[in-house]
Structure 1
Amino acid sequence: MPRILAPLLAGATYARLLHLLVGWIFAGVVLMVYPGTYHKSLGEIVVAGAAVDTALLALVALVPATRRAEGVQARLLLLPDREEDIAAESSRTWADRRRTAGWLIGRVLLGSVVGFATAFGLTSGYDLLTGPDSFWYLPLAPVLVLGYGWLVVSAGRLQLAMAVRLLGPSPAERLAEAELRAERLLERNRLARELHDSIGHALTVTVLQAGAAREVGDQAFTAKALEVIEETGRRAMEDLERTLVLLRETPEGAAGNGTATEQPGLDQLPALFDTARSAGSPVEARIEVSAGALPGVLSRESYRIVQEGVTNALKYAPGEPVSVRIAVQGGQLELHCANRPPVGGVPARPAGGAAGKGGKGLRGIRERATLLGGEATAGVSGDGGGEWVLAVRLPLRLGS
């Protein structure tokens, strides 16, 4: 019994009934306006009305905005389980217009059936219950109510299925939505790498500086360490603010001004190297290419790759010399970062293999290189020197 009565008491049933009756009202208005229905039989009136309704609805479906308006109305009144099952976009193709026309005609047809059933059911029920033999028909009242209720429930469910089928996203819209989700996922991954690289580098430098200041105990060294910590923290805050700006849903162009959205490039590497030197690790850098000669995305990603390499050197081999070389050879940008292992052993990182094997930082380097059409390797050099070497090769022409 609860399964029988529950749908009749649901708010969605009456919202869908309203949606159905709108279609019936449209058909009634057309019949009242359309001339030539006087002195006609009921069958002739129905045929004429159906022909006029079909022609008008087919013309209305040609307007691109009709599909959007019908989709919004269907979402509000038919109450689908998922709103995205019913599109709220204007028609873009003739296939969309044909489906919209089918939806409009089907909606008016089904609404007319429910509307006439409502009108005749109410009048017939009233006549039965108020007639001379109403006492005998009184037990039929619950049956009539129940039957009408389930007619509305079934018609509402059928109309919802029609809306999903005819107003649902087209294959092109589904493909566009899938591409948009993929782009958002890639953007999240990129922002995660940005935060890992910038904040990870800042925390590494801060920990090393604070530890060295505590061990040395020299006032001048401590003052210098605090200065480096302050500058590193400020840069990390700028990187964090830049990432938050990208995450916020702001109007187009609202975040286009100011330094918050500016991305670091190779021109900021000297400051990065100075920070590493102040942390106690000598850095020998040879940059044989100017930042202005590279595409913006290549300069930005190269900076992040070198930043991760230097951060790893500070983290796993503090105080040991770091060698960085950036050059162009054979139409490719080569990034080379090497450091000696700490005294008493090799770096505490996996030896050999691709950069994707190991921590998140090395995996992020490999992802950056792959997205730019290049490759990245990291591991202990095989020349007997025992250095940890990060080597990245990126094509100068993206997509080549």
Structure 2
Amino acid sequence: MPRILAPFLSAAVYARWLHLWVGCVFAGVILMIYPGTYGWSPAEVLLRAVPLDAALLVLAALVPAMRRAEGVQARLLLLPEREQDIAAEPARGWADRRRTAAWLVGRVALGSLVGLLTVLTLTACGDLLTRPAPKVYGVGLPSQGGALWYPLAVPVLLFGYGWLVVWAGRLQLAMAVRLLGPSPAERLAAAELRAERLLERNRLARELHDSIGHALTVTVLQAGAAREVGDQAFVARALEVIEETGRQAMDDLERTLVLLRETPDRVATEHPGIEQLPGLFDTARSAGSPVEAWIDVPSGKLPGVLSRESYRIVQEGVTNALKYAPGEPITVRVAVRDGRLELRCANAVGTAAQARSAAARGAQARNASARTAARGGSNRGGKGLRGIRERAALLGGEASAGAESGEWVLAVRMPLRLGA
């Protein structure tokens, strides 16, 4: 019983009933202004007034804004589960106009039917309540001993009419989704927009991971070294490096936040490029890891996007070296060969480095496991190398990482001409 009565407690049923009545009102207005309709039989109404209604509705559907108006009204009154199921955009072609015309004709027809049944149901209920032997739809009811039962038929009649409204509203909603829903072109545009936003979020996530991760790695290493070393000069230098790294991280964070702000007047900011690599290497040296770098790239040779992505790739390689092999030498080569930009970042993985790396990875694994257990989720590692491969792939290149002859080597090759 609760499931049978539940629809009558929903606001959506009454909102859709109102939407159906709007279509009925349109047909009623046409009948009132159409000359000579008084005294027509139902067959004459169908043969004369209905074609006029349909013609006016088809003409209205030719106006592009009609589709937007109907879509907005359907969203407000039909209450779909997702607003995206019903478009609120003007018609962009003849296909949209044809669908809008079919929607208008179907909406008015269904609304007129519900309106007619509403009038007949209320009339029948009034007859059942007021007349000893009423006539319902032209059928006489027996008067002997039956008048007391007539009022009891009213709730049954209203209950049946209520379910008629429920199903008519659901049918109207299905029609709206089918005829006012996004066209294939709109679905394609929406999919492209979602893909573009996803790529933008992934790019911003990589920017934050590379920049903030590098800054935090350097900060932790410097702070730990300053705590272990009693030399005041070294402590002062470590604090200076921490301060400088923090400023750079704040600048990178501000650039990323500018991209996240959806303001029309947001200012384009300069991202670090390959020219800023010497500063990155100085920071790594201050953290205690010797860096040997060879940069053989003609000035102004690299496109801006390639220069920025190259900086981030080298930054991630240096950060990983500082994190997993602290104090070990780092070798970086950046060169242009055969129309391609080649990046190579290698760090020694000796016995001591392996022990420190294993200890660091073990500590990180334990911390990650603790965080995972607390969150009840899984550990998704490898974001740095995954981000490097994504950066290289988006620029038409390739990346590889692994152990080679006692070294951990990160190698990336990307074409100078994007799309080549």
**Taking structure 1 as the reference length, what is the TM-score of the superposition?**
0.90
Query: 1:343-398 deviations in whole A, cap 9, x for unaligned?
Result: 53558489xxxxxxx832122111111111101112233xx5x3322211001111
Partner Cα separation in structure 1 for residue 299 and residue 39 of structure 2: 86
Kept in 1, the 8 Å contact 2:296–2:334? The answer is yes
Alignment-derived partner of residue 62 in structure 2 = 62
Q: 1:147 to 1:364 in 2, by over 3 A?
A: same
- Residue 158 of structure 1: how far off its partner (Å): 0.9
Q: 1:292 to 1:65 in 2, by over 3 A?
A: farther
1:155 matched to 2:168? The reply is yes
Kept in 2, the 8 Å contact 1:129–1:135? The answer is no
* SS at structure 2 position matched to 1:117: helix
Alignment-derived partner of residue 241 in structure 1 = 254
Alignment-derived partner of residue 213 in structure 2 = 200
Q: 1:148 to 1:359 in 2, by over 3 A?
A: closer
- Residue 333 of structure 1: how far off its partner (Å): 0.9
Alignment-derived partner of residue 366 in structure 2 = none
Segment drifting more, 107-116 vs 64-73: 64-73
* SS at structure 1 position matched to 2:73: helix
Partner Cα separation in structure 2 for residue 76 and residue 291 of structure 1: 59
- Residue 155 of structure 1: how far off its partner (Å): 0.7
Alignment-derived partner of residue 256 in structure 1 = 267
1:83 matched to 2:91? The reply is no
Kept in 2, the 8 Å contact 1:282–1:322? The answer is yes
Q: Which residue identity is paired with 1:340? A: A
Query: 1:241-281 deviations in whole A, cap 9, x for unaligned?
Result: 32233334x23x33225xxx432211222221121121122
Q: 1:161 to 1:189 in 2, by over 3 A?
A: same
1:344 matched to 2:352? The reply is yes
1:276 matched to 2:289? The reply is no
Partner Cα separation in structure 1 for residue 88 and residue 4 of structure 2: 33
Query: Which structure 2 segments of 5+ residues have no match?
Result: 134-146, 362-380
* SS at structure 2 position matched to 1:139: helix
Q: 1:127 to 1:54 in 2, by over 3 A?
A: same
Partner Cα separation in structure 2 for residue 339 and residue 138 of structure 1: 93
Partner Cα separation in structure 1 for residue 270 and residue 131 of structure 2: 83
* Correspondence 1:69-218 to 2 at 5 A: 69-133=69-133, 135-218=148-231
- Residue 318 of structure 1: how far off its partner (Å): 2.1
Q: Which residue identity is paired with 2:265? A: A
Partner Cα separation in structure 2 for residue 40 and residue 203 of structure 1: 85
Kept in 1, the 8 Å contact 2:328–2:353? The answer is no
Segment drifting more, 191-200 vs 127-136: 127-136
Alignment-derived partner of residue 355 in structure 1 = none
Partner Cα separation in structure 2 for residue 290 and residue 73 of structure 1: 61
Partner Cα separation in structure 2 for residue 99 and residue 366 of structure 1: 46
Alignment-derived partner of residue 30 in structure 2 = 30
Partner Cα separation in structure 1 for residue 163 and residue 382 of structure 2: 61
Alignment-derived partner of residue 244 in structure 2 = 231
Percent sequence identity is 74
- Residue 39 of structure 1: how far off its partner (Å): 5.8
Q: 1:182 to 1:136 in 2, by over 3 A?
A: same
Alignment-derived partner of residue 388 in structure 1 = 408
Aligned residues: 385
Kept in 2, the 8 Å contact 1:265–1:291? The answer is no
Partner Cα separation in structure 1 for residue 322 and residue 10 of structure 2: 64
Partner of residue 362 from structure 1, selected from 364, 370, 385: 385
* SS at structure 1 position matched to 2:402: strand
Partner Cα separation in structure 2 for residue 60 and residue 294 of structure 1: 57
Kept in 1, the 8 Å contact 2:61–2:67? The answer is yes
* SS at structure 1 position matched to 2:352: coil
Alignment-derived partner of residue 334 in structure 1 = 342
Segment drifting more, 40-49 vs 77-86: 40-49
Query: 1:73-117 deviations in whole A, cap 9, x for unaligned?
Result: 111111122222222222223222111111111000000001111
* SS at structure 2 position matched to 1:389: strand
* Correspondence 1:287-302 to 2 at 5 A: 287-290=295-298, 292-302=300-310
Q: 1:396 to 1:48 in 2, by over 3 A?
A: same
* SS at structure 2 position matched to 1:380: strand
Query: Which structure 1 segments of 5+ residues have no match?
Result: 351-357
- Residue 36 of structure 1: how far off its partner (Å): 4.5
- Residue 30 of structure 1: how far off its partner (Å): 1.8
Kept in 1, the 8 Å contact 2:326–2:353? The answer is no
Q: Which residue identity is paired with 1:243? A: T
Partner Cα separation in structure 2 for residue 290 and residue 16 of structure 1: 69
Kept in 1, the 8 Å contact 2:258–2:267? The answer is no
